[in-house]
Amino acid sequence: MKKQQKKYDVVIVGGGIIGASTLYTLSNYTNVNSIALIEKRKQLGHGVSHRSWNSQTLHFGDIETNYTRDKSKKVRDEAALLAGYLQLHENERLYQPIHKMVLAVGKKEVSELEERYESIKDIFPNLRKIKRSEIQEIEPKVVTGRKKNTPILALYNPFGHTVDYGKTAQSFVQEALKNNETDTDLYMNSKVTDITQDADGNYLISTETANIQAKSVLFAVGAASLRFAHSMGYKKNWILLPVAGNFICAPKQVTGKVYMMQLESIPFAAIHADPAVDNLDETQFGPIAKILPMLERSDYSSVADFFRLAHPRWDAFNALLSIGLQPVYILYLLKQVLYDIPYLGRWAFLREARKVIPNITYGELEEKKRHGGIRPQIVNTKTKSLQFGEAKIVGDNVIFDITPSPGASVSLANAVKNTEHIVEFLGRNKEFAKKTFLDDHTYKTGKNRD
């Protein structure tokens, strides 16, 4: 069968929330002529963006106690763009409006949370300090069964979101396709097999069904973006530590999101309880972090891809060993492994769950099969350290998005950055109507759906 052949200004590889939001921004707010989106699955948003692969939280920086004040402010502004989009598309039911809180237990945590509140209260005017009686009124099971002499305090925001990011990715693409002024094509169920650059600087992309030429390319395929970057000679001193996040579910325990204080020195999220976006009568506890030698949870062929990133390289092995031998990580990860042991693991996790819901029982906990994706952590082999935060590589008319932090919550803000780079790549009178974009996505705080 003869392959399709076509030329585009921009090719986006990956139909998750990052690729889809960039397609939407390019199509509706620039004068780019032609765009293609390539997705290896049959459906958009069915990778890490799918609701079963993440905690579905729209992070705003108010209840994330591991954020600095500056990061909280930055995340607030960036997440507000997506919140604005969700408000514009209320009728699509892309999210559920819920309240959220971060809970401190014990004198030390309460003191830390008091300090936290004083440092960010001007940034988040809807955030309030609430004590035991009000916590119990809002989330009864969080207080019931807890020792009365144990100090507790929470920061509470009535305006939160639980988001179906996969469905939101689909919405972005639908909106992009409505713009008839931009030639936009989707290549679904189509995996990229090769990419090269010709003498004129154009990229030649091969899939099973098409040969595509592009002036600029965005790789928005999570961990696999680094594999493509390596193949093209970028950031070979970076490798990945793939951290999977599992979740345990239970019948309804909370009506909103309840986060615990971040564990000191641990980069992975502390346990939290979340209502499922597609079933508010189910509560998810997690994440349970574990290291898996694969780039994609559901794709066992990605095991080979993981080892190719660090293929016989002493610097890669040495960097992973240096990180893995740190006592704080060893103890943490051993505990996470314990949670995977049949029956015994659930008993062990019960203790964690009771930090949020003191009276929850063993019988109420049930592991969610095929739930939880992989969040790749960048390892810098030169510094032998984990590199947190946004991981974006900008090269010669090409961008590799690996793990923008904090992920899907700032997808539209990330799309703005990608769009600015791409317009600069293309030149030739290409423009981005950024002010119009920002005006169109203004978030009206507190205007939650009934």
pLDDT in tens, 333-367: 677 677 777 788 888 889 889 999 999 999 999 87
Same domain, yes or no, for 326 and 365? Answer: yes
109 within a domain of the structure (yes/no):
no
Least confident among 120-124, 220-224, 414-418: 220-224
Same domain, yes or no, for 248 and 374? Answer: yes
- The whole-chain average pLDDT of the chain stands at 88
Same domain, yes or no, for 371 and 298? Answer: yes
pLDDT in tens, 180-228: 889 999 999 999 999 999 999 999 999 988 999 999 999 999 889 999 9
Q: What's the domain range around 221?
A: 1-56+164-234+395-450
What is the per-residue pLDDT for 449? 44
Same domain, yes or no, for 248 and 330? Answer: yes
Q: From 339, 371, 387, give the residue that closes a domain.
A: 387
Same domain, yes or no, for 302 and 378? Answer: yes
What is the per-residue pLDDT for 377? 79
pLDDT in tens, 304-343: 877 777 666 777 667 766 766 666 666 666 776 777 777 8
Same domain, yes or no, for 317 and 171? Answer: no
What is the per-residue pLDDT for 446? 61
Same domain, yes or no, for 419 and 381? Answer: no
pLDDT of 85 higher than 60: yes
pLDDT of 1 higher than 90: no
Least confident among 35-39, 54-58, 70-74, 336-340: 336-340
Same domain, yes or no, for 306 and 249? Answer: yes
What is the per-residue pLDDT for 355? 93
Q: From 369, 387, 405, give the residue that closes a domain.
A: 387
- What is the total count of domains within the chain? 2
pLDDT of 14 higher than 70: yes
What is the per-residue pLDDT for 328? 62
Structure-model confidence comparison of residues 52 and 440, the more confident one = 440
Of 154, 162, 104, nearest to 128 by C-alpha is: 154
What is the per-residue pLDDT for 385? 76
Same domain, yes or no, for 188 and 321? Answer: no
pLDDT of 241 higher than 70: yes
What is the per-residue pLDDT for 211? 93
Same domain, yes or no, for 310 and 377? Answer: yes
What is the per-residue pLDDT for 386? 74
Q: From 387, 404, 437, give the residue that closes a domain.
A: 387
What is the per-residue pLDDT for 185? 96
pLDDT of 371 higher than 90: no
119 within a domain of the structure (yes/no):
no
337 within a domain of the structure (yes/no):
yes
Rounded mean pLDDT, 401-416: 87
pLDDT in tens, 262-281: 876 665 667 899 998 888 89
pLDDT tier at 448, thresholds 50, 70, 90? very low
Structure-model confidence comparison of residues 248 and 85, the more confident one = 85
273 within a domain of the structure (yes/no):
no
Any idea what the CATH number is for the domain that residue 24 is in?
3.50.50.60
222 within a domain of the structure (yes/no):
yes
| pLDDT above 90 as % of the chain | 63
